[in-house]
Amino acid sequence: MKPQTIEKLDLMASLRAAELEAEIKRHTATIRRITSQREILAAYESRLAETWRHGGVVTAGHAVRAERFSDASRKAGSQIDQLETETQAHLAEALKQLAALAIHRDSLAEALRKTEMAALRESEQRAERLQPWRPTLSGDA
């Protein structure tokens, strides 16, 4: 393979690596947001539970709103869990692809090195062939 071709393949691989790194950052940020959402949801649920535990007077309207919030928080919790599972799967896949790409880029670098070494040997051999032939004198050996 020509060195220019190998360099173009490596450039394409480096662009894909940059895309994967951006994707990994995006998935990591999503996981942080999910963790934050989970903490906020837990804090709201904790505050709601504290209201009920202390035995304070609660109006019927407040109880109905609390029940709706409780139902909504359970649904939100399951959605958060599902989103986290999907995001972690995407993150794992992106990391796997990035590792495979790193191996591919290493093999391209090795192929480029071998191609350059072969070109150097070929140019040295060509230079030797172009040297004018001089017979050795029997006394010079």
d(CA 119, CA 108) in angstroms, rounded, equals: 16
The verdict on residue 134 lying in a domain is no
The verdict on residue 39 lying in a domain is yes
Token pair for 3:
């060195």
Token pair for 30:
């999503």
- Of 130, 77, 110, the closest CA to residue 102 belongs to 110
The verdict on residue 69 lying in a domain is yes
Query: What is the domain extent for residue 38?
Result: 3-120
pLDDT (tens digit, 9 = 90+) per residue, 85-139? 999 999 999 999 999 999 999 999 999 999 999 999 999 999 888 888 776 666 5
The verdict on residue 133 lying in a domain is no
What is the pTM assigned to this prediction? 0.71
Provide the number of structural domains found in the chain: 1
CATH number of 116's domain: 1.10.287
The verdict on residue 126 lying in a domain is no
- Of 89, 91, 88, the closest CA to residue 23 belongs to 91
pLDDT (tens digit, 9 = 90+) per residue, 22-78? 999 999 999 999 999 989 888 888 877 777 677 666 677 777 877 888 788 889 889
- Of 94, 82, 74, 113, the closest CA to residue 25 belongs to 94
DSSP designation for 136: P
